[in-house]
Amino acid sequence: MDVAAKDAAIARFLHEYPKAADTGRGHPVLNGCEEVRWSDFAECPAALPVLLYGLLDQAAAAAAQRVLTNTLFSIAEMNPAMPEVLPFLLRLAGDPQVPERSGLL
């Protein structure tokens, strides 16, 4: 999936769950995720934090996880942004209040 397709998938996610991006904003485990220049990584959309925030939204968590997985993994390889996103995912997985937490593990 190229960056345009990933951007489109994130836009569809936001269309379906418009409040998801605001749900996780300000959560301590995601501090700093907006400062990462995600688009500097090959094949990584700049809007990746939207999906991380969506993981904290009860209604949107499963969809956010699916889109995030499709954004970061292809059949042949892992996205080069994975070392940057992994600490955020590990902190989310360690928070018992995160919906779909077991899927992150």
Task: Tell which wins on pLDDT, 91 or 73.
Answer: 91
Using CA atoms, how far apart are residues 33 and 8, in angstroms rounded to an integer?
20
The structure's pTM equals: 0.90
Q: Which ranges of 17-55 does DSSP label H, i.e. alpha helix? A: 20-23, 48-54
Q: How many other C-beta atoms are found inside a 10 Å radius of the C-beta of residue 16? A: 12
pLDDT band at 1 (very low <50, low <70, confident <90, very high): confident
pLDDT band at 76 (very low <50, low <70, confident <90, very high): low
CB–CB of 10/47 below 8 Å? yes
